[in-house]
Amino acid sequence: MSKPKRILIQTTIPYAEDDWNIGRFSLLTELLRSQRTEDGNALYDVVARNREVGEDGFDPILNTLDTSDFDQLWLFALDMGDGLTKEECEAITSFSKRGGGILSARDHNDMGSSLCTLGGVGRAHYFHSKQREPDDSRHQRDDDKTLNIDWPNYHSGANGNFQRVSASDHELLKRADGTIIEFFPAHPHEGAVGAPPDNSDATVIARSKSLVTGRDFNLVVAFDPENDNGRAIAHSSFHHLVDYNWNPEMECPTFVEEPPGDEYRTDPEKLNDIKQYVANAARWLSR
């Protein structure tokens, strides 16, 4: 019997009750833990944790990730630029170079901008004050309702609703019957991702359309290197995978201003697409 692949689900912020702490990713965590082989054995050994800083100023797990026995890192970048140290980014980059798989997700404006210093997948994330989208015409607000959040802030719908995805014929986006995934959780102000133009390993595999401006924007970028480097995924928003967007009856931080929608509550089968995507991603990142 083969050993389960080890997955680290990690935030870039320390625990705070009134924030997007790792406990708010419980449905994702349990879904990964529930994946089984045909013989009923666990496919994944999942560790979920918040950022913790030791006396040396480093997170002890992230700072040694390249020498750990983890196979995948699902990194939720919830900081405003100070969530990862230079040394931690170097360890994560080395982890990728030795074959580790990475899923990275951030959100609007500069949230998660410490990802910029990651090799490879870090260059797929675009922010407000650094590493901006190459198209200058996109440097403007998309969501015009939540005025304390600046661009990039693409409006794909209310939390608790789903958005229609324009998906490519990629194995990450296929249902069990071979048809293409159509629905992702929506969010009022998603961030920006794109395939770095000088990286042939990177491909935009899913796009959406703003409900405010009608403008297309990227949801997911996949990195599939031909060498021994690990595969990687960049998401425009962590809200695709957080509890509140799968079930808005679960708690969210008090600073969330927008009223939730009820599309997933009234049509729960639509959640099957994001759950299939999670299973696909865990398998795909394992090569």
Q: What is the mean pLDDT of residues 24-44?
A: 97
State pLDDT tens for residues 176-191: 999 999 999 999 999 9
5-285 under CATH 1.10.20, yes or no: no
- What tokens were used for 21? 């702490």
| Nearest alpha-carbon partner for 109 in 18, 213, 215, 190 | 190
CA distance 172 to 193: 17
DSSP state of 268: G
State pLDDT tens for residues 231-260: 999 999 999 999 999 999 999 999 999 999
CA distance 30 to 56: 32
Which three-class secondary structure state does DSSP give residue 274?
A: helix
Given pLDDT bands bounded at 50, 70 and 90, which one contains residue 107? very high
In this structure, how many other beta carbons lie within 10 angstroms of the beta carbon of residue 190? 31
> Whole-number mean pLDDT of the chain?
97
Residue 101: C-alpha distances to residues 65, 79, 152, 183, 279 (Å): 12, 21, 26, 24, 14
CA-only gyration radius of the chain, Å: 18
CB 208 within 8 A of CB 217: yes
CA distance 238 to 112: 10
CB 270 within 8 A of CB 264: yes
pLDDT, position 220: 98
Provide the angle, in degrees to the nearest 10, between the axes of the packed helices 271-285 and 26-33: 60
CB 77 within 8 A of CB 10: no
In the chain, domain spans? 5-285
Reported pTM:
0.98
